[in-house]
Amino acid sequence: MALLEVDRLRVEFPTRRRALVAVDDVSLAIEAGEVLGVVGESGAGKSVTGAAIIGLIEPPGRMAGGEIRFDGRRIDHLSDEEKRRIRGNEIGSVFQDPLTSLNPLFTVGQQLVETILAHSDRSADDARRHALRLLEDVGIPAAAHRIDSYPHEFSGGMRQRVVIALAVCAGPRLIIADEPTTALDVSIQAQIIALLKRLCRDQGTAIMLITHDMGVIAETADRVAVMYAGRIVEVGRVRQILRAPAHPYTTGLMDAIPRLGRDDADLAQIDGAMPRLHEIPEGCAFHSRCPHAFDLCRRRRPVLQATGDAAAACFLIDQERSDD
C-alpha cells in the first residue's frame, strides 16, 4: 500500500454557466520516501491537485469526485479539524513564492514555534530549541541570532529555507512542494532542491515535487506524472520516461530541457498553447498541438495504457501494440 493514493480525483470550479473541470480523473500514488515529480505547463492542474490532497481547494472550487487515501486511511471526507491535524503534521507544504509565504508581522521563530506547538505538546522552550535546530539544519547562518528576525530581513533563498523548515517542523511523512524554486534566482534553485532532497532522505519523507521544469524532474524524481489540461497523460519511472517517452506531449517537454553541448536555439517549444478549461476540445486534449494527431484523436479521448514501467494516454500506443 502506497503512502498516498489519489484515486480518480476530480476538482470543479463552478461558474455561472457551468462547472469548469480543473482536475479530471487523476490517479496517482506516492510510496513512502519516494519523490514523485508532477510536471506540466502552467494551468495543467498541478497546484489544484496538490491543494485537493491537503484539503485546501479554494472555494467555490470543490472536489467533485474520487478519493484520497493517506497511509491507507481516507482523508478527503474528514472534518475540518481532522484535516487540519493532517496538514503540517502528516503532509507538509512548500509554496512557490517565499516572499509571500511568510507572515510579515511575525518573526520566523514565532512562526516556527506556533507550527510546532500546533502539532505537538512540547513546551514553548522546547519548541524554540527545536525551531533553532531546524533553522540550523536548513542552513540559515547565525541561526541563533536570525531566529528573532522578521521575514523581510531574509533574502528570497533564505526565506525559502525558512519555508522548508516550516514544512518539515512537525515531522510530516509527505511534503507537497509546489514549484519551490520557480520564484528564485537560477543560481539558488539547485541548492534549494538539494536541501529538500537531503532533508527528506534523512527523514524518509516522500515528496510530491510540482514543477514545469522537466530538467528538475530528471535530476530529482523517482517517478513522474505528466499533466495536461487537468489529466495525467503519462506516468511512470523517470528513467524509462526519459529514455523512451510514450506521449508526444512528454517528448515535447523533454525537447525543451536545456542541455550542455546543445545550442539553446535548438530548444524546441511545443507550438500553440494548452486549451483553457472552458474550451478543452473533444477527443485528445492535445490534438491541436500534436504532430502525430490523426482522426481518432479528434473524436475519442485516449485513456492511460501501460507501457512497461509507465503508462500513457495516447492512441499511438495501441497502434504500436497492434503493429507488433
Partner 1 sequence: MLAFILKRLLQSLLVMFFVALIAFSMFQFVGDPVHQMVGIETTLEEREELREALGLNDPILVQFSRFVLDAVTFDFGISYQHKKPVADMILSRMPATLELAIFSALLALALGIPMGVYTGLRRNTLLAHVLMTVSLAGVSLPTFLIGILLIFVFAVMLGWLPSFGRGEVIDLGWWSTGLLTVAGLKALILPSITLGLFQMTLIMRLVRSEMLEVLRTDFIKFARARGLPEHVVNFRHALKNALIPVITVTGLQLGSIIAFAIITETVFQWPGMGLLFLQSIQTVDIPIMSAYLILIAFVVVAINLVVDVLYYVIDPRLRATRSADSGA
Ligand X SMILES: Nc1ncnc2c1ncn2[C@@H]1O[C@H](COP(=O)(O)OP(=O)(O)O)[C@@H](O)[C@H]1O
Q: Which residues bind ligand SF4 (CB under 6 A)?
A: 247-248, 284, 286-287, 290, 292-293, 297, 302, 314-316
Choose, by CB under 8 A, the member of 135, 163, 241, 270 that binds partner 1.
Answer: 163
- Total residues in contact with partner 1, by rule CB under 8 A: 48
Under the binding rule (CB under 5 A), the answer on residue 47 touching Mg ion is: yes
Q: Contact at 8 Å (CB) between 206 and 36?
A: yes
Shortest distance in whole angstroms from residue 110 CB to ligand SF4: 50
Shortest distance in whole angstroms from residue 310 CB to partner 1: 30
Task: Please say which residue, 107 or 305, places its beta carbon nearer to partner 1.
Answer: 107
Q: Contact at 8 Å (CB) between 10 and 66?
A: yes
Binding mask 237-276 toward ligand X (x if CB under 6 A, else -) reads ----------------------------------------
Cell 481516507 sits on residue? 74
Cα–Cα–Cα angle for 206, 168, 81, rounded to 5 degrees: 95
Q: Contact at 8 Å (CB) between 44 and 228?
A: yes
Q: Nearest CA to 224 among 253, 195, 197? A: 253
Task: Please say which residue, 59 or 291, places its beta carbon nearer to partner 1.
Answer: 59
| 237 SS3 class | strand
Under the binding rule (CB under 8 A), the answer on residue 165 touching partner 1 is: no
Choose, by CB under 8 A, the member of 72, 104, 261, 291 that binds partner 1.
Answer: 104
Q: Nearest CA to 272 among 256, 286, 293? A: 286
Q: Nearest CA to 287 among 304, 305, 275? A: 275
**Binding stretches for ligand X (CB under 6 A):** 13, 22, 40, 42-48, 58, 61, 277
**Binding stretches for Mg ion (CB under 5 A):** 47
